[in-house]
């Protein structure tokens, strides 16, 4: 993972920092509790994340100056005491180098993956960031196998309105291969993470699920990235999701079927066929 020169400063002036992992049982599952913890942690100058835990309550990671950690622990204990039942478990853990205090498990917007036959056959992966779809063209498409790295060539932003488009195009056709919501992850806030060239995210699609990372490998010219599946419970080692699940999540049709239908309707499209990877 790329590190900034800032690390040297952290090890010097902030070398006394510590980190905790906390599990807060109900009643902190109350509306707004997660945001309250985030706001308190930020006000204390802490970094890390907070997540709504399965079955209620919160899980959080916080790191920073010891006095600020103690203040956060006191804040959590006070919230629990005022709420009645419940409890808080605190564990000292290694620092992870977070540069923000983030809400985890919160949708950042939509994502789509299109299968697109044009001059070449490729997949387009698009993530909603700040009102536009940040876009990458993947010659071989995505993979759920953590051992596989897929080339992702950065291409211009697309509009959100184009997300659901499917059908023949002038030079071929496109199907909506996957869609869903996604979460932004990592130690650096987005879109800064993208400008630095390392972005971690969680997809909640119909085919693509779990953690992924985009790692930029070439910044000049047409920026090139690698898309990797992170190792988690959604990883499918040795799988090939592109081959196994070709149908559109919108229509159930494959790209080949869309192209064949287009050829039947329009003789000008005859002979257009996708190049298979
Ligand atoms: Mn395309």
Domains and CATH numbers, the chain: 6-103 (3.30.70.100), 109-269 (no CATH)
**Whether 29 contacts 84, CB under 8 Å:** no
From ligand 1's centre to the CA of 196, what distance in Å? Answer: 24
From ligand 1's centre to the CA of 122, what distance in Å? Answer: 6
Indicate whether this model's pTM tops 0.85. Answer: no
Over residues 222-276, the pLDDT tens digits come to 899 999 999 999 999 999 999 999 999 999 999 999 999 888 876 554 444 444 4
Q: Which of 154, 118, 150, 157 is nearest to 136 (CA)?
A: 154
From ligand 1's centre to the CA of 204, what distance in Å? Answer: 22
Neighbours of ion ligand 1 (CB under 5 A): 116, 124
Over residues 111-142, the pLDDT tens digits come to 999 999 998 999 999 999 999 999 999 999 99
As a whole number, mean pLDDT of residues 29-58 equals 87
Whole-number Å distance between alpha carbons of 5 and 12: 12
Whole-number Å distance between alpha carbons of 246 and 263: 20
Tell me what the pLDDT averaged over the chain comes to.
88
């Amino acid at each position: 993972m790329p590190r900034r020169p800032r690390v040297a400063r952290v090890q010097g002036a902030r070398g006394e920092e510590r980190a905790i992992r906390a599990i807060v049982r109900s009643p902190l599952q109350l509306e707004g509790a997660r945001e309250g913890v985030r706001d308190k942690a930020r006000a204390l100058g802490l970094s890390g994340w907070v997540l709504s835990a399965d079955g209620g309550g919160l899980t959080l990671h916080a790191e920073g100056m010891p006095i600020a950690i103690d203040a956060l622990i006191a804040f959590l204990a006070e919230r629990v005491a005022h709420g009645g039942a419940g409890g808080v478990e605190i564990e000292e853990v290694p620092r992870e180098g977070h540069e923000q205090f983030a809400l985890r498990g919160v949708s950042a917007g939509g994502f789509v993956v299109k299968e697109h036959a044009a001059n070449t056959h490729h997949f387009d992966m698009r993530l909603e960031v700040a009102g536009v779809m940040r876009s990458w063209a993947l010659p071989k498409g995505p993979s759920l196998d953590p051992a596989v790295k897929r080339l992702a060539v950065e291409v211009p932003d697309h509009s959100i309105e184009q997300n659901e488009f499917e059908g023949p195009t002038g030079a071929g056709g496109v199907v909506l291969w996957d869609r869903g919501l996604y979460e932004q992850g990592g130690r650096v806030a987005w879109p800064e993470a993208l400008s630095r060239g390392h972005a971690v995210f969680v997809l909640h699609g119909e085919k693509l699920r779990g953690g992924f990372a985009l790692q930029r490998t070439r910044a000049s010219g047409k920026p090139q990235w690698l898309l990797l599946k992170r190792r988690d419970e959604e990883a499918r080692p040795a799988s090939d999701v592109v081959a196994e699940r070709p149908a559109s999540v919108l229509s159930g049709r494959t790209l080949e079927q869309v192209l064949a239908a287009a050829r039947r309707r329009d003789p000008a499209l005859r002979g257009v066929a996708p190049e298979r990877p």
